């Protein structure tokens, strides 16, 4: 049975990805800090997600992790290896997101806490990958995914958001270099706008401005189905190191999102991921 970890899975993208992997029969460890109603302004807990994973056909296991604490990230990996003996898929999705992120104003006019994305987001993804890597290398297989978005290459919400997304893409590119000889792949996936509770609230706040998103946004589960198709691609290692657009990868594998094909940023915004130069300096 495939063993997966999805960080930041109480709600939003992480929850959707976890449930999708569960529908393919995976054992899915879901992490986050929300254990009961009221722990976060938005609904969702790790236990609810774990139950949904099991209901979808997998085995959901909730683990309370504060990804701002390196030792808790280390303990998570140790627990999974102790209980399952392997890690096949690691989804680095946990991110510190605050409501003020999309508020109007320049970066110095918004709360300093927005830069927390570089701790719970970038650093936490590095930490989880760091501790999972030896097990994946030893088993000579595995897939490390960084959830990202087009803000990596254009302005979205300010510099903290952009640095986080660009960093996720760069992590995948450079980790792939180190993983190359061991059968482990690393990729960053640009997700489209996701119909999460947060986005639904944004749409309702100004339907004239954001209403169009209902017709183009992806479900939170879509990326999980794309990841599963990617994981089972015999040519996976040939894609390692790339930043891919989830909608395009879905089209390649014939993965639909509730019966439709989501649009690609390449078509809607005329933008695409940056391609890394092949130079390697060690």
Known catalytic residues are 161
Angle subtended at Cα 183 by Cα 137 and Cα 226, rounded to the nearest 5 degrees: 110
Name every residue whose Cβ is closer than 8 Å to that of residue 36 and which is 6 or more positions away in sequence: 45
Residue keyed to tokens 């690609």: 264
Quick check: 243 and 273 in contact, CB under 8 A? yes
Q: In 3-state terms, what secondary structure has residue 136? A: helix
Crossing angle of helices 12-23 and 222-231, rounded to 10°:
50
Crossing angle of helices 12-23 and 46-55, rounded to 10°:
30
Name every residue whose Cβ is closer than 8 Å to that of residue 254 and which is 6 or more positions away in sequence: none
Q: Which residues pair with 173 in a beta bridge?
A: none
Convert 214-270 into a string of H (helix), E (strand) and C (coil).
HHHCECCCHHHHHHHHHHCCCCHHHHCCCEEEHHHHHHHHCCCECCECCCCHHHHCC
| E-only strand ranges, 24-141 | 27-32, 59-64, 89-92
Rounded to whole angstroms, the Cα distance separating 242 from 185 reads 10
Ramachandran class of 241: left when φ > 0, alpha when ψ lies in -120 to 50, beta otherwise: left
């Amino acid at each position: 049975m495939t063993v997966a970890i999805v960080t930041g899975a109480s709600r939003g993208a992480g929850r959707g990805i976890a449930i999708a992997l569960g529908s393919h029969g995976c054992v899915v460890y879901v992490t986050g800090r929300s254990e009961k109603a009221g722990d976060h302004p938005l609904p969702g807990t790790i236990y609810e997600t774990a139950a949904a994973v099991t209901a979808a056909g997998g085995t959901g296991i909730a683990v309370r992790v504060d990804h701002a604490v390196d030792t808790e990230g280390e303990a998570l990996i140790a627990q999974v290896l102790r209980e399952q003996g392997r890690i096949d898929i690691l989804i680095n999705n946990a991110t510190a997101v605050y409501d003020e992120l999309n508020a109007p104003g320049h970066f110095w006019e918004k709360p300093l806490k927005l830069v927390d994305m570089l701790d719970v987001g970038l650093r936490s993804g590095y930490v989880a990958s760091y501790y999972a890597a030896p097990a994946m290398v030893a088993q000579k297989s595995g897939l490390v995914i960084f959830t990202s978005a087009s803000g990596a290459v254009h302005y979205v919400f300010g510099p903290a958001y952009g640095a986080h997304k660009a960093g996720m893409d760069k992590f995948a590119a450079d980790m792939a270099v180190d993983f190359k000889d061991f059968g482990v792949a690393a990729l960053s996936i640009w997700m489209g706008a996701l119909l999460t509770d947060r986005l639904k609230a944004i749409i309702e706040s100004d339907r004239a401005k954001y209403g169009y998103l209902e017709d183009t946004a992806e479900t939170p589960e879509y990326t999980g189905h794309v990841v599963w198709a990617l994981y089972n691609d015999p040519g996976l290692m040939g894609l390692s190191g790339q930043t891919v657009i989830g909608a395009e990868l879905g089209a390649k594998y014939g993965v639909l999102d509730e019966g439709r094909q989501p649009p690609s940023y390449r078509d809607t915004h005329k933008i695409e991921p940056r391609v890394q130069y092949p130079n390697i300096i060690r």
